[in-house]
Amino acid sequence: MGYQVLARKWRPHRFDEMVGQGHVLRALANGLASGRLHHAYLFTGTRGVGKTTVARILAKCLNCESKGVTDVPCGECAACAEIDAGRFVDLIEVDAASRTKVEDTRDLLDNVQYAPTRGRYKIYLIDEVHMLSTHSFNALLKTLEEPPEHVKFLLATTDPQRLPVTVLSRCLQFNLKPLLPDMIAGQLETIARHEGIEVEKPAIERLARAADGSMRDALSLADQALAFGSGRLVDADVQDMLGSIDHDFLLELLERLADGDGPGLLDTVARMAETSPDFAQALAELLALLHQLSLAQTVPAVFDAETTDGQRLAALAQRLDAAWVQLLYQIVLHGRRDLPLAPDPRAGFEMVLLRMLAFEPDPGEGDTRGPTAAAPTAPAAPAPGSAPESAPAPAAEPAAEPATERQTPTGNDDWHRLAAALSLSGMAQALADHCDWVARDGDRVTLQIDEGHRHLVNDNVTARLAEALSQHFNEALRVDVRVGPVNAETPAAAAERVASDRRDRARESIETDPNIAALKATFDAEVISESIRPRDQE
């Protein structure tokens, strides 16, 4: 016998050989064991997840000669062997995609009334049933509702939305889910071990991800990779075959971002471009790395740091601020959506990276400040807005450093100065700037924030604010943030008021300037007030 492809050779013959789909298999096994048999079963799901495989195993369960109706067919009797070989006379398999006409359906149903020739049940397995025409469904409907006792219908489809509701209501429906990459990788390792195939674990994992939830696709890709790699599954060969991005490039990009190295970032992209990559796929794999990086920072117990990639990600996790990693993930996520709108894929990919670089924490402050452009609603510099009439107000910030000034705020101005002096970044800074000081009772500090900024309040951000306050006062403090009306002016509101006053003064200065008046009179010019911005005093 010639070579048999892996997808056919390793097709499961019993329920316990299936990978995944436990929710379906359990229901079918319990129904068979208790004798609760339905006359029509509908199996739905994406390609390659096991719809027709489950249907054929169910056909063996119903027609096994040795054990009768059972959830564990013997696999050795004539009925089981013939079903496995695809030549069981009472299992009628129909490809609805090639037999869509109503005449085909009527011809099929003409023999429904006759008893099975060999088996216990006559079984109609209709694959891609959604391809039947409306008239074909109408012809099938009455038989599907009240078939003879000896007939079972097993329907399979990738698109159940195209089935008439009248057909759906007459079937017992099971939705087969896409398989997780770990499940696929485990099965590929099992097959490779039994087949004596030399494999590299990264190659298996790459194939599992490329299969996109389909075990059949994974086995087909494995066959292709074996041909490509002369009977071995080597990661470099699988990567070349799939056209995947080398993770070294993506990890190098993250390291360049951590270094704030813009030229190095573009140099890495240029070397990537020489391999003619799929930049959309590169963004998808970059997302996966950022997900792993976030796991390493927040849930290290489930992060695998044993691999080479894991070791480099673990090192990056120590260098990058956790809030910045979350922001990077969102930037790449939106970049994938916008990539088709870019002039060309490489330019779009570079723009995503430059956007990530633009939100890099200030290297002079380390990772404690977080993204410098990520908190437009919480400008730290003008936060001491308690003295709006005084231009040099920011100079008062250093006064918060000596221990003698570290007192509990007693008024609105004191909280503004304290919020500006805390070592905060990102959402924690935004939370402090939008809060109003309520009270301090022992080790508990109570703040209040309005309903419009409720999204800033979560356990992680509140913990960061509490830690900053504890460091400032040199004692352990807890923070309780209440949501409700804020009566006093918050630091963010004060900063916005100061900025608004500066804009108003700048507009007034322009509008009363005699030179501007002369230009308007001479050239009939017009001043666009909205475009006037104050010069940066720094």
Task: List per-residue pLDDT tens for the chain, 538 residues long.
Answer: 567 888 888 999 999 899 988 999 999 999 998 888 999 999 999 989 999 999 999 999 999 998 999 989 988 999 999 999 888 999 999 888 887 777 878 877 888 888 888 889 999 999 999 988 888 888 888 888 888 889 999 999 999 999 999 999 999 999 999 999 899 999 999 999 999 988 888 889 889 988 888 999 999 999 999 998 888 888 888 888 887 777 888 999 999 888 888 899 999 999 988 888 889 989 988 998 899 889 888 888 777 766 667 788 888 888 888 888 999 999 999 999 999 999 999 999 999 999 998 887 654 444 433 333 333 343 443 433 333 343 344 444 444 433 334 456 655 568 888 888 888 888 888 899 999 988 888 889 999 999 888 888 888 889 989 999 998 889 999 999 999 888 888 999 888 888 888 888 888 888 888 888 888 888 777 888 777 777 664 4
Q: What is the structure's pLDDT at 395?
A: 40
H or E element in which residue 287 lies: helix 279-298
Tell me, what's the pLDDT at 411?
54
CATH number of 275-368: 1.20.272.10
Architecture of domain 375-538: 2-Layer Sandwich (3.30)
Please determine, looking at this structure, whether the domain spanning 181-242 carries the CATH number 3.40.50.150: no
- Residue 329 near residue 292 (C-beta atoms within 8 A): no
Name the nearest CA neighbour of 446 among 493, 482, 492, 488: 482
* 13: region left, alpha or beta (phi > 0 left; psi from -120 to 50 alpha): alpha
Is 121 within 8 Å of 160 (Cβ atoms)? Answer: no
Give counts: helices (H), strands (E), the chain: 22, 10
Cα–Cα dist 484/192, whole Å = 61
219-235 pLDDT, tens digit each = 999 999 999 888 888 88
First to last CA, the chain: 82
Query: What is the SS3 assignment for 58?
Result: helix
User: Which parts of 40-150 are beta strand (E)?
Assistant: 40-44, 91-95, 122-127
Residue among 374, 296, 288 at smallest CA distance from 333: 288
Q: For position 366, what pLDDT does the model report?
A: 43
Query: Which pLDDT does position 176 carry in this prediction?
Result: 93
CA dihedral 354, 360, 362, 363 (to 10 degrees): -90
CATH architecture label of 6-175: 3-Layer(aba) Sandwich (3.40)
* Cβ–Cβ < 8 Å for 456, 428: no
* Cβ contact 42:157 at 8 Å: yes
The Cα diameter of the chain in Å comes to 106
The DSSP H or E segment spanning 537 is none
Contact 389, 377 (CB under 8 A): no
Backbone CA torsion sign across 216, 222, 223, 225: positive
Are 311 and 305 in contact by the 8 Å Cβ rule? The answer is yes
**Token pair 């670089």 in the structure block, residue:** 357
Whole-angstrom Cα distance, residue 317 to residue 482?
A: 32
Structure tokens at 215: 């075990």
Q: Where are the alpha helices (DSSP H) in 339-458?
A: 345-358, 412-421, 426-433
CB hemisphere CA count around 136 (13 angstroms): 19
Domain ranges of the chain: 6-175, 181-242, 275-368, 375-538
Whether 6-175 and 375-538 share one fold: the answer is no
| Residue 44: strand pairing partners | 157, 175
Q: How far is CA 400 from CA 147, 209, 472, in A?
A: 85, 53, 9
Tokens coding 432: 């402090």
Q: How far apart are CA 405 and CA 417, in angstroms?
A: 11
Give bridge partners of residue 151 from the DSSP assignment: 122
- Strands 444-449, 435-441: pairing is antiparallel
pTM of the model: 0.58
Per-residue model confidence (pLDDT) at position 123: 93
Copy the structure tokens of residue 75.
């696999």
Q: Which two tokens stand for residue 45?
A: 């799901």
According to DSSP, the β-strands at 444-449 and 172-175 are unpaired
> What percent of the chain has a predicted confidence (pLDDT) above 70?
88
